[in-house]
Amino acid sequence: MQFKRKSLYVIMLGCFYASAPAFADEISDLKAEIAAQKKHAAEQQAQLDALEKKLDASIQSQQKVAANAPSTPDVAPLEKHPVWGTPGYTGLTYHTAKDTISLYGLIDLTASNINHTDSSGGRTTSFHPTGWFSGSRWGLDGSHKLTDNTRVIYRLESEYEMNTGNMDTPGTLFNRDAWIGFENDTYGKFTFGRQNALGRDIVAGYLDPYGAAAASTNEGGGSNTNNFKQMIYYAGSATGTRFDRGAVWKKKFDSGIVAGLGYQAAGATDNAGPHDTTKTAALAYNGGMFNLAGYYTHANVTGLAHDAYSLGGNVTFNKLVRLNAGYFHYTADQGGGVGQRKDNAYTISAKLTPAGQFDYELGYQVMKADNAGYNGSGITLNAFKDTSGVTTTGSGKRSTLYASAFYHFDPQTDVYVAFDYLKLDGGYTQASTHGFDSQTEVATGVRYKF
């Protein structure tokens, strides 16, 4: 029995040692596989680490961009809107969720030939300091949303001379506009600061053929850049054709009525007198085919009363011909015991817009002054000028005939030719004619709106 057990052990040991090389090879294979898997896992980890670093770098870059971006998301950055002078125009405009800021402008370069430009009757051919139609300008216009129907609004606008690049008013950057205000869909538009005289805005539809036919709450209406644009002074204020220290309310009603009230405060720290104030009420009706408008202004200039009112309108036939006509009446108290000045003025004009890229304008105006004061150089004073020092007066008439033709390359770019003829009668005098009773101008130019 003992022998049998020993024999069994010997057989088992023999089998074990016979199979040992096979077990050893399997273990080696397992160890090699484990090592390979560990190496592959290390490579995978290295790749993951590299991807994580790349992701972190991308996130940090985006965070830097976001930190430098506006606090509110952009809706339409640097968006080009309808061009200057057309409905809805806002220039080159940048929007955010609450703010709109527009950069806009007009370049009007005119070359002209004018006679009687000196006392010997000489003729001058040159570039105008300001355009035949209006002064070149640039500006910033903006709004900030307070509620769904209320906005803060503002405008800063500067005029410059195209022949030299100088400021139109030396030392005054925003000589055209410098105001801020509020606009509410229900209560209207309130603006405070330097801005157009309210009468000037409301007569835009009939003062000449170049303004918009329908009245609105926007600024606009005429200029004083040449001989046919002097009637604008009747729609002015104690500080010319604009309100300094002005407060204006305007509202456009659904019925087609546009109403406005304006007040110009007296000067406190500038050169205006302590009593130089202006009050204006304006009313217009937009009837589609026809439009009517008018205003009344009372100003106190150096303690003397100046009053003006106007009524006019326009009618358009088949979108082809627009006719404009208006009447102005002006009175002014004058110092020196010379009595009151009384003016009556009339304007009539037409605009023809046939199909195509041309349009044509023709106009005639008369400014008749009775007992109008002269300045120290013997020149008839414009309406609303200081009359406290007047000692001599004269009566006469100032008439102007003008015409123009435009070619529109596109809504932003125009070229034009223009003509005006000025005639002075009686005691009406003007500095630019140098003692002559007439002046003729022929002009050509280019206008670009941005």
pLDDT in tens, 180-221: 999 999 999 999 999 999 999 999 999 999 999 999 999 988
- Give 344's strand partners: 329, 368
For 313-346, write each residue's pLDDT tens digit: 999 999 999 999 999 999 999 998 999 999 999 9
Same domain, 131 and 107: yes
What's the CATH number where 135 sits? 2.40.160.10
The pLDDT assigned to 62 comes to 58
Q: Is residue 98 domain-shared with residue 247, that is, in the same domain? A: yes
Q: Does residue 338 form part of some domain?
A: yes
Q: Select from 51, 69, 87 the last residue of a domain.
A: 69
Query: Do 61 and 105 have their domain in common?
Result: no
Q: Which domain holds residue 333?
A: 79-449
Q: Of 39, 69, 99, which residue is a domain's last? A: 69
Considering the domain architecture, whether residues 92 and 23 belong to the same structural domain is answered as no
Q: Are 33 and 162 members of one domain?
A: no
Which residues fall within 8 angstroms of residue 173, CB to CB, at 6 or more apart?
Answer: 158, 167
Query: Of 38, 69, 100, which residue constitutes the final position of a domain?
Result: 69
One domain, residues 23 and 147: no
Please check whether residues 51 and 119 belong to one and the same domain. Answer: no
Please report whether residue 273 resides in a domain. yes
How far from each other are the two terminal CA atoms of the chain, in whole angstroms? 120
Domain tally, the chain: 2
Residue 417, domain member (yes or no): yes
| 5-63 pLDDT, tens digit each | 555 454 444 544 444 454 456 677 777 777 777 777 777 777 767 777 776 766 666 55
**Do 316 and 291 share a structural domain?**
yes
Whether residue 65 sits in one domain with residue 198: no
Q: Are residues 367 and 308 in the same domain?
A: yes
